[in-house]
């Protein structure tokens, strides 16, 4: 870990606070990270391998102004926290957000367990509904965040996390406390970015929370969710309009036009599946 890594990261997310391993530091970083570094899956759609080594994460998410999905976000965040002196363990979970009932997905989501005076669930990479605060690992209590209230329940030998949306509790994912090794994430990461059944190979997804709202993009539909208010939906009708949305609402620095345009134009016309890799290279 080099000293400039932390400086570049803090500059990327706009953090100027203390470098101590306290709950206040953790909460501030957890709020700033997803606001500055969005969730997005452009690389799998472009047929590119998602690299999880620290130099690649630093280059993509910090220096190049890109975002990523759960492994990229939480691996980068875990390195930052460890550099500040936090005790961090990587976890894995099964997503159940917007999943049909009785459907069981593989353990392809990454979260973190951070130990302070008590354990906290930390997750800056859940794209469906990105967390904006760490959660105490306590069950059956409602925990406030900067956005929606959340809660953790016991579920079998593990836990289930839920969010309160429009008066209803919605399940996000199940997880347990079994520590994960880098090889565990590598295998799950290969599935997400390479397997033809992976959702990230089929749909354009982007998400970014901001103060008082959330921005979400699914293919050509942009949604602005206002906390405590109405949601606004817009259909983006051209590849150029999708690119502007990614650059504006999601604060992304995108690859060159000739690389991304052949991907975005079909999506704007309503085609869900990405172009073949041979057409993108």
Active site residues: 70, 109, 123
**21 phi-psi bin (left φ>0, alpha ψ -120 to 50, beta other):** beta
Distance from C-alpha of 38 to C-alpha of 41, rounded to nearest angstrom: 10
14 in helix, strand or coil? coil
Phi, psi angles (nearest 5°) of residue 144: -80, 145
8 Å CB contact between 249 and 215: yes
How many Cβ atoms sit within 10 Å of the Cβ of residue 241?
16
Cβ-based neighbours of 212, under 8 Å, separated by 6 or more: 226, 227
What strand order describes the sheet that includes 221-226? 39-40, 205-210, 213-218, 221-226, 231-235
Phi, psi angles (nearest 5°) of residue 61: -85, -25
How many residues comprise the chain? 281
């Amino acid at each position: 870990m080099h000293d400039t890594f932390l400086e570049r990261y803090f500059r990327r997310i706009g953090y100027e606070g203390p470098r101590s391993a306290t709950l206040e530091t953790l909460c501030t970083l957890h709020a700033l990270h997803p606001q500055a570094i969005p969730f997005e899956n452009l690389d799998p759609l472009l047929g590119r391998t998602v690299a999880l080594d620290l130099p690649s994460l630093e280059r993509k998410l910090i220096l190049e102004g890109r975002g990523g999905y759960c492994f990229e976000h939480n691996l980068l965040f875990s390195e930052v926290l460890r550099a500040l002196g936090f005790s961090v363990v990587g976890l894995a979970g099964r997503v159940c957000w917007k999943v049909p009932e009785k459907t069981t997905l593989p353990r392809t989501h990454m979260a973190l367990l951070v130990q302070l005076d008590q354990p906290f669930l930390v997750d800056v990479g859940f794209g469906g509904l990105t967390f904006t605060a760490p959660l105490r690992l306590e069950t059956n209590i409602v925990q406030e965040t900067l956005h929606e209230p959340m809660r953790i329940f016991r579920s079998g030998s593990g836990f289930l996390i839920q969010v309160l949306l429009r008066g209803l509790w919605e399940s996000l994912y199940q997880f347990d406390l079994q520590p994960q090794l880098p090889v565990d994430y590598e295998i799950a990461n290969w599935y997400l970015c390479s397997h033809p059944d992976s959702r990230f190979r089929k749909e354009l997804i982007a998400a970014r929370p901001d103060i008082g709202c959330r921005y979400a993009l699914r293919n050509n539909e942009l949604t602005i969710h206002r906390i405590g208010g109405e949601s606004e939906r817009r259909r983006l009708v051209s590849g150029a309009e999708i690119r502007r949305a990614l650059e504006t609402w999601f604060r992304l620095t995108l690859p060159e036009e000739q690389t991304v345009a052949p991907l975005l134009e079909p999506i704007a016309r309503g085609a869900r599946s990405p172009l073949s890799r041979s057409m993108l290279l």
